[in-house]
Amino acid sequence: MPMRMSRREFLGATGLATVAIVSAPTLAACTSPGMGGAPGGPDPTFAPDVELALKATAAETSILPGTATRVWTYQGTVVNGDPGSLQVVSGSYLGPILRLRRGQKVRITFSNDLPESQQTSIIHWHGLQVPAAMDGHPSTAILPGQSFVYEFEVTDRAGTYWFHPHPHGYTARQVNAGLAGLLIVSDDESDAVALPTGDYDVPLVLQDRIFDDDNQFMYAPNMMTAMMGFLGDHILVNGRPNDTWSLATRAYRLRILNGSNARIYKLAWSDGSPLVVVGTDGGLLDAPVERDYVMIAPGERLELWADFSGRAVGDAVRLISQAFPGAENVGGAAGGMMGGMGGNMMGGNTDIPALGAEQDLLTLHIDRQEAEPLQRPATLLPIVRHALAEAVNVDQPRTIAITQQHMAWKLNGRAFEMNAVADDEKASADALEIWDIVNEVNPGEMMDPLGMAHPFHIHGVQFQVVERTLRDDYAEFAPGYASVSAGFVDGGWKDTVLVMPGETVRLAMRYPNHLGRFVYHCHNLEHADGGMMRNYEIVA
Ligand code: C2O
Ligand code: CU
């Protein structure tokens, strides 16, 4: 047996074509001891400024020509308060865009109306810093027919956040089926920055899917997909395939979310003009940065200043994902491009672009002249860098090792346990801490001795990326790393960060005063469902 195997070789060697290894979740009651707060029911002392209802339910939507696609979607209503708090994305399975203001108190009643009796679900507000009981911890997942009341104050910076299901073992499937939505926070400070607004402030959610012959989503992970992550052959933008937009000769603010289960994109304009990044996961940068390409991994957000004012009516430009090797080190760094070709072999579908293959994402047609009232701002919003010397663990950063053992991805050698918190997974409220996320080599593992890229996400905090280091004792890492490393935008607030094979990413974060258990995990959703997740607990 070769030391490194491609996805296809693996299937051939084991004959495991359609074994689902996604573990069955532990069903939990809708209240969970030790989580604090008032899980599951409204608090009579909480006075919401806005009250919303979100229902996870089955629906049909037209995506490809012909038969409509059965999807799972969030249907939302404004129960009380500003009707603009909720904006439907018409013609898409994506949930409504929640538009909230910093300082607002929100009550959101989530109801699980999914059509399969074992599909527990719960919503996580990805990027928001809310109390532990309101964070959508997998132990708070509810059964179909039940509901859960969220109550929290929006305290985060203005920015592009999102929400999605978080039941353990079912997240990947539920997101693939359509459950996800954007959550856009605004505040006075960010309103004062002269960026495009209204029709010129545009969400752009990137996802990939596989369709069967009857236009239905195919999600039946074989062992390979469960271990490496789902890759689709159709790119969907805001839920639509082969998307083309008609734009004016103006600047636009593009709010990009990578809502894919596992696919990483290397964003670039097809004509080689630089991307201008104005924001990351936790809101605006201190100043725009220009990049030839930008990496965006599952869970991450990027905001672009996309300026078409210098273009002629009739021009077209494509948003593409450029090729990058080495994110999946099957068959060696150079073979990584080929290695994924056989991945997701389902129903004989062998033409799924590999992780890191070049892809077209979106075509923009400049079809009308409009005067541009805005100028690209020289500065955006101040970002105060953490003073690392003040970190409580400055001499001994918390280390999270990403490894693979017996074909399962682990964090510090451990898999997820619903209610377990190890002694080294406790953290103090209000403390500033340093974390080192170390993407290890996996000597002796049949698959991936040289690891793969993992998008690492921590609930309950926004962090800063302090530095990245690539180990230099494996020459195989260098070419892959060189193909992506100029595309990291690390100067802003983050909640999800791509960690390449052989890389250590140092993070700094100050925990809020939200006592309780939060999860940290890989945002490759098949990895998270497979157990690449742990609890940490903020203690007084
Ligand atoms: Cu967006 Cu725990 O995830
Ligand atoms: Cu991972």
What confidence category does residue 223 fall into, taking pLDDT thresholds of 50, 70 and 90? confident
pLDDT band at 16 (very low <50, low <70, confident <90, very high): very low
Question: Is residue 336 pLDDT above 70, yes or no?
Answer: no
Q: Is the pLDDT of residue 222 over 50?
A: yes
> What is the C-alpha end-to-end distance of the chain, expressed in Å?
52
Instruction: Indicate if the pLDDT at residue 28 is higher than 70.
Output: no
Distance 441 CA to ligand 2 centre (A): 13
Average pLDDT, stretch 20-41?
Answer: 39
Higher model confidence: residue 39 or residue 78?
Answer: 78
As a whole number of Å, the CA-based R_g of the chain is 22
Contact 422, 431 (CB under 8 A): no
DSSP 77: E
Round to whole Å and give the CA distance between 479 and 119.
42
| Tokens of residue 328, six digits | 């999946």
For residue 333, give both structure tokens.
């760094």
Token pair, residue 170, equals 């079912």
- Give me 374's structure tokens: 């805005």
DSSP 283-322: EEEEEEEEES-EEE-TT-EEEEEEE-TTSPTT-EEEEEE-
Tokens of 83: 């009707």
Our answer on whether the CB atom of 301 is closer than 6 Å to any ligand 1 atom is no
pLDDT score, position 7: 52
**Listed residue (322, 257, 335, 334) closest to 296, CA to CA:** 257
Residue 320 corresponds to which tokens in the numbers above?
A: 């593409």
Instruction: Quickly tell me which residue has 């439907």 as its tokens.
Output: 88
Q: What is the mean pLDDT of residues 95-99?
A: 98
Q: Which atom of ligand 1 is nearest to the CA of 136?
A: 2
Q: Which residues pair with 76 in a beta bridge?
A: 54
User: How many angstroms does the Cα of residue 194 sit away from the middle of ligand 1?
Assistant: 31
Per-residue model confidence (pLDDT) at position 414: 97
Q: 275: Cβ–Cβ under 8 A, 6 or more apart, which residues?
A: 267, 268, 269, 290, 291, 292, 293, 294, 304
Q: Token pair 């059965």 is at which residue?
A: 70
What distance in angstroms lies between residue 499's CA and the mean position of ligand 2's atoms?
9
CA of 67 relative to ligand 2 center, distance in Å? 34
Contacts with 346 (C-beta within 8 Å, 6 or more apart), sequence order: 18, 210, 218, 220, 222, 225
Q: Does ligand 1 lie within 6 Å of residue 454's CB atom?
A: no
DSSP single-letter state for residue 341: G
Q: What's the confidence (pLDDT) of residue 529?
A: 97
CA of residue 229 to ligand 2 center, whole Å: 8
C-alpha angle 84-85-88 in degrees, rounded to nearest 5: 75
281-303 core/surface letters (b: 16 or more CB in 10 A; e: else): bbbbbeebbebebbbbbbbbbbb
d(CA 278, CA 286): 8
Q: Is the pLDDT of residue 302 over 70?
A: yes
Ligand 1: nearest atom to the Cα of 528: 2
Q: Is the shortest distance between the CB of 457 and ligand 1 below 6 Å?
A: yes
Q: Which of 41-55, 65-79, 183-197, 484-498 has the lowest mean pLDDT?
A: 41-55
Does residue 517 have its Cβ closer than 6 Å to ligand 1? no
Q: Is residue 36 pLDDT above 60, yes or no?
A: no
Give the mean pLDDT of 312-330. 91
State in Å: Cα 227 to ligand 2 middle.
9
| Whether 247 contacts 199, CB under 8 Å | no
For ligand 2, the distance from its centroid to the CA atom of residue 439, given in whole angstroms, is: 10
Rounded to whole angstroms, how far apart are CA atoms 52 and 29?
23
> What confidence score (pLDDT) does residue 35 get?
38
Strand duo 123-126 + 426-428: pairing: unpaired
C-beta 521 within 6 A of ligand 1: yes
Predicted confidence (pLDDT) per residue in 232-277, tens digit? 999 999 999 988 999 999 999 999 999 999 999 999 999 999 999 9
Q: Around 248, how many Cα atoms within 13 Å sit in the side-chain half-sphere?
A: 14
Our separate counts of H helices and E strands in the chain read 7, 31
534 lines ligand 1 (CB under 6 A): no
Tens digits of residue pLDDT in 345-369: 333 346 899 999 999 999 999 999 9
pLDDT classification of 24: cutoffs 50, 70, 90: very low
Q: Which atom of ligand 1 is nearest to the CA of 299?
A: 1
Residue nearest to atom 1 of ligand 1 (CA): 126
**Predicted local confidence at residue 295, as pLDDT:** 98
pLDDT at residue 350, as a whole number? 60
Q: Are strands 316-321 and 359-368 parallel, antiparallel or unpaired?
A: antiparallel
Count how many residues are written for the chain. 540
126 Cα: distance to centroid of ligand 1 (angstroms): 5
Distance from C-alpha of 269 to C-alpha of 290, rounded to nearest angstrom? 12
Angstrom distance (rounded) from CA 522 to CA 265: 16
Q: What angle do CA 459, 460, 466 make, to 5 degrees?
A: 80
pLDDT on residue 19? 32
Query: How confident is the model over 101-117, as a mean pLDDT?
Result: 98
Give yes or no for residue 126 CB within 6 A of ligand 1: yes
Q: Is the CB of 76 under 6 A from ligand 1?
A: no
Q: What atom in ligand 1 is closest to the CA of residue 459? A: 2
Å from CA of 525 to ligand 1 middle: 9
* Residue 166 in contact with ligand 1 by CB distance below 6 A: yes
Place of tokens 């894919």: 260
Please classify residue 73 by burial: count the beta carbons closer than 10 Å to its beta carbon, then call 0-12 exposed, 13-18 middle and 19+ buried: buried
Q: Which of 165, 169, 173, 122 is nearest to 146 (CA)?
A: 122
CA of 528 to the centre of ligand 2 (A): 7
Confidence of residue 329 (pLDDT cuts 50, 70, 90): low
Q: Which of 537, 262, 501, 531 is nearest to 412 (CA)?
A: 531
Rounded Cα distance between 435 and 326, Å, is 24
What percentage of the chain has pLDDT greater than the value 90? 81
Phi and psi of 7, rounded to 5°? Answer: -55, -40
**How far apart (Å, rounded) are the C-alpha atoms in residues 470 and 94?**
37
Alpha-carbon distance values, 16 to 1, 227, 262, 270, 343 (Å): 16, 12, 21, 39, 12
The closest ligand to the CA of 300 turns out to be 1
DSSP string, 363-374: EEEEEE------
Burial of 409 from C-beta contacts in 10 A (0-12 / 13-18 / 19+): buried
Give the residue-averaged pLDDT of 399-426: 95
pLDDT of residue 34: 33
> Is 459 close to ligand 1, i.e. is its CB under 6 Å away?
yes
Output the pLDDT for position 423.
Answer: 96
Q: Is 168 in the pocket of ligand 1 (CB under 6 A)?
A: no
Nearest to 231 by CA among 327, 320, 160: 327
Mean of pLDDT values over 496-508: 97
Listed in sequence order, the residues at least 6 apart from 500 whose beta carbon sits closer than 8 Å to its beta carbon are 326, 327, 439, 453, 470, 477, 480, 481, 484, 485
Ligand 1, atom 3, residue with closest C-alpha? 126
Q: What is the DSSP string of 501-524?
A: TTEEEEEEEE--S--EEEEEEESS
Strand pairing report for 503-510 and 454-458: unpaired
What pLDDT does residue 355 have?
95
Task: Tell me: pLDDT of 64 over 60.
Answer: yes
Point out the least confidently predicted range of 22-36, 311-325, 328-342, 515-529: 22-36
What pLDDT score was predicted for residue 41? 66
